[in-house]
Structure 1
Amino acid sequence: MTAQKGKDLLLKIHNGTTYETVAGLRSRRLAFNTSAVDITDAESAGRWRELLEGAGVKRAAVSGSGIFKDQASDATVRSAFFGGSILNWQIVVPDFGTVTGPFQITALEYSGQHNGEVMFDLALESAGQPAFGVL
């Protein structure tokens, strides 16, 4: 597999009809995590930590930052955050696949310099099981 362009990693939000790319994003990140369940006891071999297979809580986290453009997707993001809504999102990873599922916006930040553009930072947390699709 050859190197991929970062701009091809897309974050999309379902607007009720179709998935719409969140406008103005310059950087995006997708992370999968699971918590470990420690089952170590006094009889563990060599006193090495033991983990319970398949027992941890799984989660997906998405973050992004970009420029504020006042597009329809920006309005959808704002209303989802202030409404505390859990919406369907899709993350497109080039030459890998798509991750689609329910996510909630957990952080929305705006910033700007007096001589620059308005920027925003966005963080999402999975609110259910995401689905993986091959491209």
Structure 2
Amino acid sequence: MAAQKGKDLLLKVDDNGDGSFTTVAGLRTRRIAFNAESVDITDTESAGRWRELLGGAGVQRAALSGAGIFKDAASDAALRQIFFDGRVAPFQAVIPDFGSITGPFQVTALEYAGEHNGEVTFEATLESAGALTFAVL
């Protein structure tokens, strides 16, 4: 696989729950991380005392994060309202030449910053709140 442009990794939100996703504007950096807990089932009869894990038993989770500047009032307002409502909403991460991850996420952190001679920036962190689906693009 050839190198890909970071700007092509998109974070989208379905603010209305109607199935139409809108790109969260102004993101300069974005990240998606997948994690799964392991369940240790090692016992005294484990071969050579090597750790044994129980496949498919741990909790899986995904975290989305992004930082940048809001380029339009609509995406700023949507993300902010989802956070203040404490609402779980459909989000989508589009990963170029890989696919898209779609599912329910909760905005767990929303931070704003700015310097006196610069623009206002924001950082947002989202945690998965249910089953995610993967689709090949």
The alignment's TM-score, normalised by the length of structure 1, stands at 0.96
Ranges in structure 1 where 5+ consecutive residues have no aligned partner = none
Contact 1:23–1:71 under 8 Å retained in 2: no
**Identical pairs, percent:** 67
Q: Could you say what secondary structure the match of 1:79 adopts?
A: helix
How much has 1:69 moved relative to structure 2? 3.4
Structure 1 partner of 2:2 = 2
1:3 maps to amino acid: A
How much has 1:43 moved relative to structure 2? 1.7
Q: Could you say what secondary structure the match of 1:91 adopts?
A: strand
What is the alpha-carbon distance in structure 1 between the residues aligned to residue 58 and residue 129 of structure 2? 16
Structure 2 partner of 1:113 = 115
Q: Could you say what secondary structure the match of 2:43 adopts?
A: coil
The 4+ residue runs of structure 1 with deviation greater than 3 A are none
| 2:29 paired residue among 27, 30, 38 | 27
Ranges in structure 2 where 5+ consecutive residues have no aligned partner = none
What is the alpha-carbon distance in structure 2 between the residues aligned to residue 19 and residue 71 of structure 1? 16
How much has 1:48 moved relative to structure 2? 1.3
What is the alpha-carbon distance in structure 1 between the residues aligned to residue 52 and residue 46 of structure 2? 7
Structure 2 partner of 1:79 = 81
Deviations 1:69-127 (A, max 9, x none): 35201100000000000000011001111111000001111111111111111100100
The alignment's TM-score, normalised by the length of structure 2, stands at 0.95
Task: Say how many residue pairs are matched.
Answer: 135
